[in-house]
Amino acid sequence: MLRSVTPVGDVLYLAEFVDTYARIRIVDAAGNALGEVPLPAGARSSSCRSR
């Protein structure tokens, strides 16, 4: 589930929930995957916490 999109320079950071865990993907303006931000196993990012 996509939780937030944060533009940084020419890329977008997508904060998502995947199988109840946080993932932050980096994509370009066309949606091409550029990588992921490494997080500790089982981590939740502050923008991905449950409400």
Q: Residue 15 forms beta bridges with which residues?
A: 4, 24
Q: Give the whole-angstrom CA distance, residue 9 versus residue 44.
A: 24
- pTM score of the predicted model: 0.75
Mind listing the pLDDT tens digit for each residue in 22-39?
999 999 999 999 999 998
Q: What is the spatial distance between Cα 29 and Cα 44, in angstroms, rounded to a whole number?
A: 25
What does the pLDDT read at residue 18? Answer: 87
Domain-by-domain residue ranges, the chain?
A: 2-40
User: Count of residues for the chain?
Assistant: 51
Give residue 20's pLDDT.
Answer: 82
| 34-37 long-range Cβ contacts below 8 angstroms, 24+ apart | 37/13
Residue 14 pLDDT > 80: yes
**Is the confidence at residue 12, as pLDDT, over 60?**
yes
pLDDT value at position 45? 55
